[in-house]
Amino acid sequence: MPELAEAEFFRKRWDLAARGSKISAVLTHDRAKIYRGTDPAAVRRALTGTRFLGSEAAAKQMLFRFSGGAWLGVHLGMSGELRAEPPGYVPEKHDHLVLVTAKHSLVFKDPRMFGRVQFHQGKSAPAWWTKIAPALTSDAFTLESVSIFLRRRARAPIKAVLLMQERFPGIGNWMADEILWRAAINPLRLAGSLTPREVRTLWRECRHVARLALDVIAGEGDYLPPDLNHHIPKTWLFLHRWEDGGLCPKTKTPLVRQEVGGRTTCWSPARQKLRPA
DNA sequence: CCAATTGTTATTTA
DNA sequence: ATAAATAACAATTG
């Protein structure tokens, strides 16, 4: 489920519920694959008794910071979610990690277990966090960096290239389709075939969709929408991409679905032509 | 039983 | 050797 805006949504859920609180207990499903490379017993030991100091989201990941130099990383994979439950919550089958505070139980649920928990103890943030590419909304995400990247991936479909996290951190399947639809670029076009004008439009729409998605899905300030898709406007491709007989919100013509870059891709043939106009 | 799912990574192919 | 395509991972749902 989660792409960049969803990661921010779930981060805020834990943060607004329990930032500043003491962790009184940590519950783990020790056999769960989300702990690959991490020892759940060590996480329990290290976090119990600490205070939850703050958090950040970047790309599709979240970093939670605790007193004593403890850092908890969460990647939600395909089916992960974070919730804040009342105290006394009893973990269910797929609740692989629960941080207990006086007022809430912070739950990480992930049925498919493509998600991941990482842990680090130290003064500064761990390398697996700091090496994440600069955010789409930051000044470091430049037109030139996109242009160079597209040239290096010239023979791959642009849809597949947008999914590459080392240049487009946090873009997943639906965001890639939304960006290409807004930019009026066919997902099958090879990255190296885009005109300089198209590359600029694509770059601008990456930033635009990232900003819109963050505002609409994760809210602003201390406001958190009641659920992920609560405020998504009908004008977005997002709300029509899985409908049977779905229509393009801009052209009112039928949408098409086809596998591109290994993912089911939705686009509007009337708007996104194979040959540039 | 078959196919599907908003992700990542190892392996295979070109 | 490099880059792109494919399979695999796991669980659930239709």
pLDDT digits (tens, 9 = 90+) for A239-271: 999 988 899 999 999 999 999 999 999 999 999
Give distance CA A262 / C1' C6 (Å). 8
Report the alpha-carbon distance of residue A67 to residue A123 in Å, rounded: 10
What is the percent of chain A with per-residue pLDDT over 90, rounded to a whole number?
Answer: 95
Distance A128 CA to C1 C1' (A): 27
* Average of per-residue pLDDT across A202-219: 96
Q: In the prediction, which pLDDT does A238 show?
A: 94
Note the pLDDT of residue A1. 45
Q: How far is the CA of A60 from the C1' of C9 (A)?
A: 19
The pLDDT of A82-95, averaged and rounded, is: 95
**Which residues are in reach of strand C, CB within 7 A?**
A 33, 78-79, 93-94, 111-114, 152-157, 160, 191, 261-262
The residue whose CA lies nearest the C1' of nucleotide C11 is: A112
On strand B, nucleotides with any atom < 7 Å from a protein CB are: 4-9
Average pLDDT, chain A: 95
Nucleotide nearest to A155 (CA to C1'): C4
Distances in Å between the alpha carbon of A32 and those of A67, A91, A155? 26, 13, 38
Quick one: pLDDT at residue A250?
A: 96
Round and report the angstrom distance from CA (A57) to C1' (B4).
29
Nearest nucleic acid nucleotide to A172, CA to C1' distance: B6
C-alpha distance from residue A10 to each of A13, A114, A123, A152, A236 (Å): 5, 17, 25, 34, 22
Token code pair at residue A65: 């910071």
Look at strands A116-121 and A70-75 and give their pairing: antiparallel
Give the C-alpha separation, A45 to A214, whole Å. 34
Q: Residue A265: which nucleotide is closest by CA–C1'? A: B6
Q: How confident is the model at residue A276 (pLDDT cuts 50, 70, 90)?
A: low
Please report, rounded to whole angstroms, the spatial distance between the CA atom of protein residue A111 and the C1' atom of nucleotide C11: 6
Strand partners, A244: none
Model pTM above 0.75:
yes
Residue A41 corresponds to which tokens in the numbers above? 């017993």
Between the CA of A155 and the C1' of B14, what is the distance in angstroms? 12
Rounded Cα distance between A9 and A15, Å, is: 10
DSSP A227: S
Which residues have C-beta within 8 Å of that of residue A75, sequence separation ≥ 6?
Answer: A60, A61, A62, A115, A116, A117, A118
The pLDDT, as a whole number, for residue A277 is: 58
Cα separation of A111 and A79, whole Å?
6
Predicted confidence at residue A199, as pLDDT, reads 98
Q: Report angle CA A150, A199, A182 to the nearest 5 degrees.
A: 120
Over residues A20-28, the mean pLDDT reads 98
Q: What tokens were used for A169?
A: 């951190």
Whole-angstrom distance, CA of residue A43 vs CA of residue A171: 29
